[in-house]
Amino acid sequence: MPRHTALESYPAIHHVHKTGWLRAAVLGANDGLISTSGLVVGMAATGADTRTLLVTAAAGLTAGAFSMAAGEYVSVSSQADSEKADRDTEQRELKEEPDLELLELIGIYQGRGLSLELATQVARELTAHNALNAHLRDELGLNERNTARPLQAALASAGAFIAGALAPILVVMLYGGPDLEVVLIAATLLVLGLLGALAAKLGGAPWRPGAARVLFWGALAMGASALIGRLFGASVGA
Ligand SMILES: [Zn+2]
């Protein structure tokens, strides 16, 4: 594979590539953190003991991790299917109508600002070098680096979810004291804020809005869970 050094050293493009992976990982961790913490906070608000809280958290972690993996697998698989179909179509067209395909490529490079002369030369040389790759990349925007990998995506997203879910579990295990809900909510918001800021910073965006957004939704989720736990705990306990 030739290396596209000029393109890769361009910082904005670096950020775009990084945020794809990073965004998925941080979103998965946020999901695991918010949903498991919410579950445990809700249960803690009913006055459940530590054992019940740990069982709840473990069940939430397992169900969530599988749900993330399944969702990601299905969605990335359908993306992979359509990439495969595009590849097959392109391969067939190149075989059956190579002249039309060359014209198509010339048109694409002209549309990007090259003169007819240069576009023709570029299209000819790239077609001679690797016609299928040229079409996949420049006509369909596919390249090997962003090829859909369902199993990898499923494992990454389940792993990120589990990492996020471990935070509230550790809090329950390490802190057995009073006002567990409050400690849990505080710890969850702290980690959420850090994750949000980190994701924004690594993605090249300002960290404050990134942290604020995730904190807002996290606080909403914790508040709702605690409220539901209180209401149900009171009505079931009465
Ligand atoms: Zn084509």
Under the banding of pLDDT at 50, 70 and 90, the label for residue 21 is low
Q: What is the pLDDT of residue 95?
A: 95
Ligand 1 centre to CA of 141 (Å) is 11
**Mean pLDDT on 104-109:** 96
The fraction of the chain above a pLDDT of 90, given in percent, is 53
Give the relative orientation of helices 180-202 and 11-45 as an angle to the nearest 10 degrees: 170
**Mean pLDDT on 89-111:** 95
More confident site: 230 or 2 = 230
Ligand 1 centre to CA of 7 (Å) is 23
pLDDT digits (tens, 9 = 90+) for 55-83: 999 999 999 999 999 998 999 899 889 98
Q: What is the pLDDT of residue 57?
A: 94
Whose tokens are 């962003």? That residue is 146
Under the banding of pLDDT at 50, 70 and 90, the label for residue 226 is confident
Rounded to an integer, what distance in angstroms lies between the CA atom of residue 39 and that of residue 41?
Answer: 6
The fraction of the chain above a pLDDT of 70, given in percent, is 89
Ligand 1 centre to CA of 81 (Å) is 18
Q: What is the pLDDT of residue 162?
A: 96
H/E element holding 113? none
What's the one-letter identity of residue 89? T
- What lies within 8 Å, CB to CB, of 228 at 6+ separation is 42, 45
Q: Break the chain into its structural domains and give their ranges.
A: 15-237
| Closest residue by Cα to residue 35 from 12, 62, 77, 64 | 64
Q: What is the pLDDT of residue 150?
A: 87
For residue 109, pLDDT over 90 is answered with: yes
Question: Would you tell me how many other CB atoms lie within 10 Å of the CB of residue 150?
Answer: 18
Ligand 1 centre to CA of 135 (Å) is 5
Ligand 1 centre to CA of 172 (Å) is 57
Ligand 1 centre to CA of 130 (Å) is 12
Rounded to an integer, what distance in angstroms lies between the CA atom of residue 215 and that of residue 190?
Answer: 8
Ligand 1 centre to CA of 13 (Å) is 25
Number of C-alpha atoms within 13 angstroms, CB side, residue 36? 34
Ligand 1 centre to CA of 89 (Å) is 8
Ligand 1 centre to CA of 104 (Å) is 6
Ligand 1 centre to CA of 151 (Å) is 29
What's the one-letter identity of residue 76? V
Its pTM stands at: 0.74
Q: What is the pLDDT of residue 201?
A: 82
Q: What is the pLDDT of residue 10?
A: 42
Ligand 1 centre to CA of 15 (Å) is 29
For residue 1, pLDDT over 70 is answered with: no
Ligand 1 centre to CA of 21 (Å) is 29
More confident site: 70 or 5 = 70
Ligand 1 centre to CA of 2 (Å) is 21
For residue 206, pLDDT over 80 is answered with: yes
pLDDT digits (tens, 9 = 90+) for 138-171: 998 887 777 778 888 899 999 999 999 999 999 9
For residue 9, pLDDT over 70 is answered with: no
Mean pLDDT, rounded, of the chain? 86
Ligand 1 centre to CA of 101 (Å) is 5
